[in-house]
Structure 1
Amino acid sequence: MHTGFTWLGCGAFIPRSKVLRFLAQLGSNGLSKDRLRVADMYFSIWTNQYPYQMSNPLTPLDQKEGWSDGVDQWRIVYQNIYDASSKLYEALAANAVDHFMREEEQPRPDQRDTRAPCLNDKCLFLTNIDPFPLPTSVVFDNVNVTQVRMQETQFDKLDFPSNDFWTKHAYHYAVDRDDNTCWNSYKAPHAGDYFGLHMLTAINSKHVTILSSQNINHLENVFAISTSTNGDRWVTCKYQPLKDAVVSSDPHRLHIGFLCPAAEPFRFLRIEFQRDLPEPFEVCSLGLEGFNV
């Protein structure tokens, strides 16, 4: 069992095959009419896959006369999450021929690095730094856990950002074209950690600019730059000093010149830490020649 809940109402891309499988699951599990009305709460859990969630700014809609108006919506949500999880657990334990997947899809949570779409929809923000515990940190016990809040109690004992912190420093703030908002790594980066961009179209560039709320203009030797045309084969680029006209005196702005062995357009850029940092790192904006987010 390797699954999780996500709100489909916040936006989702779903393969047609999973929708068809879910319809087959509904047809064979005999949910009551009341449960069928909120079947979307079952969908992500019954995929038996960890949802791939990306950070986005959400705008609340008018809740007047909404389905949750006048009801304890979290009680309903938690009841259905637990019911969906229990039914999945029992189906997997029975090991019968059914419509539930057993194999875990790739990439697994510890291999994922696509975190947020850029505001202009021309790129994606990448980083391997994840401040949240892996879902395998808390195991679902179908016997001793009788409600979702009991499961949450176990998760709450782990170290992860508070709601207030993440509201101010989520991934998408690195690429929202607002220099006053910043992604914060929460934990101090280690050597080998990275952040960067996956661009919709290939570009040519020989320098990258990082804007932070911190003083970073002395850290050019901390980072290594690599590029890729497909996200699989990476080329390490050499550091190249920039002309004085390009370099800014702003202590919050770091300009890094680089020269790659193959002078070809690239779609992926990775900025990798070469040593451990003593404190969390913040990125407020990223820029390449002719491309700023």
Structure 2
Amino acid sequence: MPSARLRRPGCLNFSIATLVISISVAYVLRYWHPLADGTKAVRTHDPSTQSSSVHAHASDVSADTTAVVLNWSRFPNIRRIANLLCSPELAGVLHTVLIWNNNPKPVSYEDFDADIGCSPSRLVIVNSPRNLYFQARFVACMSANTTFCYTQDDDYLILPEILRSLHTRVSKEHGPQSVHLLPPHERLSSELRYVCNEGRGLHTSFAWLGHGAILRRSLVQRFLSSMQLVNATEEQLLMADNYYSVLLNEPPEVWFDQGIELGGGQAFTVGSEGELRNRRHIMQAGLYLDSLLNARHDFGGRARKCDDPPPELIGRAPCTGRPCILETSIRMLPVLSHAANSTTDMLDNEERHGKRISDDALDNNLTHAPSKAVDSNKATAFRSLSVGRKGDYVTLDMLVPQVAAGMIWLVDEATARLLQHCVYESSVNATRWVSSLGCNVRISHADGR
């Protein structure tokens, strides 16, 4: 896929402490806004007549992903999310849109408008006979016959171009097995919870799925097999989100998200009781993984070193406005030790690392994350607090071939001077890079000077 990259050459030494970037990809695009109010149409699904698998929409034979959305107490949000997932922009990605209704009040065809964009064969509603909590997303994914599953909860809206970026990323030949979208504070938690022990073969972290995650269906099958192997209880299966990423024993790739919070309804995790429940189950997941490691369970992965950070935790963010992915090696956090003797050290490591990070760094991570460079908002920017280092890079993956790509970088004056000393390269395969891009710096001021 074509990419553009800038990097700092090793021969230069910069004393500029701050990098501030906001990128606008210079294309005129038709903008489809998913936030328009209104309800859409689906068909009622009777679980008793459900076949063993969810079949793909016949007219979208190239699509290879099943979307699974959990409903509990925010059905107005579900209608908006379904409207987005059934949009024409995603017809080539999503075979099936599956709404799993955990609420005892049934959802029916009449609860949606007729112009949702999904045919009855493409949209499936499961009125669950009981609340399966988080287990439902995994049961639903295993009922599909697609290569990938995309899942989210009912309190977030993910733009079509972001879902397309997720799909392109996991579809690459040597791409990640899964990608999780996380708001900056949750992504920070995932990075701080990464634990590693080369001798034991321990390499894992924790990441939620409800903000939007795409994953190979085979990964879900592997996870459920592990839960069966450790004799997980019914309660633990219901809380499957707390176990999923930990038990896979490979750090999930996590992105800074561009998600839109919808709110409403009643949240499942509320207050200290909910937090304690989550910690208890995450600790139990750690104990289960330790038992599998002690038994020399084959996780099917390659031997790997304890990288800092691991490739899955390099800063990445999807663009808004069009599908593309920003990636940068510029550090947002200080160097941290992720060594651990046990997976259960995960939460202690998070607490210890959190005390080492300055308030300024924490605030910058939340308010000036890499996602702020590609959010189509001129008032926001990605900002680095650290001095420029040899080899720092920023890459923009355009995902599909481009005849000519222009970018406008909105930066402060210090960063503009720094950019004049960077190397600009482009590539069609992210392997062979050509120095074909240049930086034409024009400093403009708010008053127009």
Alignment TM-score, normalising by the size of structure 2: 0.48
Equivalent residue runs for 1:141-290 within 5 Å: 141-142=341-342, 149-159=347-357, 162-205=361-404, 208-237=407-436, 239=438, 248-250=442-444
1:52 aligns with 2:246: no
Write the distance in 2 (CA, Å) between the matches of 1:165 and 1:220.
21
Give the SS at the match of 2:213.
coil
| Higher relative contact order structure (alpha carbons within 8 Å, sequence separation ≥ 6) | 2
Distance 1:187 1:249 in 2: 23
Shift of 1:18: 0.8
Q: Which one is further off, 60-69 or 174-183? A: 60-69
Q: 1:123 aligns with which of 313, 317, 324?
A: 324
CA distance in 2, matches of 1:43, 1:223: 41
Paired position in structure 2 for 1:278? none
Q: Which amino acid aligns with 2:444?
A: D
Distance in 1 (alpha carbons) for counterparts of 2:236 and 2:419: 56
Maintained 8 Å contact 2:315/2:370: no
CA apart distance, 1:138:
2.3
Task: Flag the 1:32–1:133 CA change in 2: closer, same or farther, 3 A.
Answer: farther
Q: Distance in 2 between matches of 1:249 and 1:100?
A: 53
Give the direction of change, closer, same or farther, for the CA distance of 1:238–1:59 in structure 2 (3 Å limit).
Answer: closer
Matches of 1:85 and 1:74 in 2, distance apart?
17
Match of 2:182 in 1: none
Gaps of 5+ in 1: 253-293
Distance 2:258 2:244 in 1: 23
Given that 2:373 and 2:381 are in contact with CA atoms closer than 8 Å, whether structure 1 keeps it comes out as yes
Residues in 1 aligned to 2:430 and 2:400: alpha-carbon distance in whole angstroms:
13
Deviations 1:230-281 (A, max 9, x none): 11111123758x6xxxx644159xxxxxxxxxxxxxxxxxxxxxxxxxxxxx
Q: Which residue number in structure 2 is paired with residue 84 of structure 1?
A: 285
Separation in structure 2 between the aligned mates of residue 110 and residue 147 of structure 1, nearest angstrom:
18
Aligned to 1:138: 338
Query: Is 1:25–1:100's contact at 8 Å kept on the other side of the alignment?
Result: no
| Percent of matched pairs sharing the same residue | 27
- Offset of residue 57 of structure 1: 2.8
Partner AA of 1:59 in structure 2:
I
Measured against aligned partners, the alpha-carbon deviations of 1:54-92 in whole angstroms (never above 9, x if no partner) come to 111333343633322476111111111111112111211
Bigger drift between 45-54 and 201-210 goes to 201-210
Whether the 8 Å contact between 1:174 and 1:182 is mirrored in structure 2 is: yes
Alignment of 1:76-115 (within 5 A): 76-95=277-296, 98=297, 100-101=299-300, 103=302, 109-111=309-311, 113=314, 115=316
Q: Verify the 8 A CA contact 1:224 1:237 in the aligned structure 2.
A: no
Contact 1:114 1:127 in 2 (8 A): yes
Question: 2-side partners of 1:49 and 1:26: how far apart?
Answer: 16
CA RMSD of aligned residues (A): 3.1
Change (3 A) 1:68 1:164: same
Q: Verify the 8 A CA contact 1:49 1:105 in the aligned structure 2.
A: no
Structure 2: give runs of 5+ residues left out of the alignment: 1-201
What is the SS of the residue equivalent to 1:222? coil
- Does residue 1:29 correspond to 2:230, yes or no? yes
1:106-142 deviation digits (Å, cap 9, x = unpaired): 9x6444656011012421112122323577x222333
SS at match of 1:54: strand
1:67 matches 2:67 = no
What SS is found at the alignment partner of 1:153?
helix
Counterpart mapping for 1:4-23 below 5 A: 4-23=205-224
Q: What is the distance in 1 between the residues matched to 2:438 and 2:377?
A: 28
The amino acid of 2:252's aligned partner reads: P
Q: How many residues align?
A: 242
| TM-score in terms of structure 1 length | 0.71
> 2:332 and 2:208 mapped to 1: Cα distance?
20
Amino acid aligned to 2:326? F
Letter of the structure 2 residue corresponding to residue 26 of structure 1: M
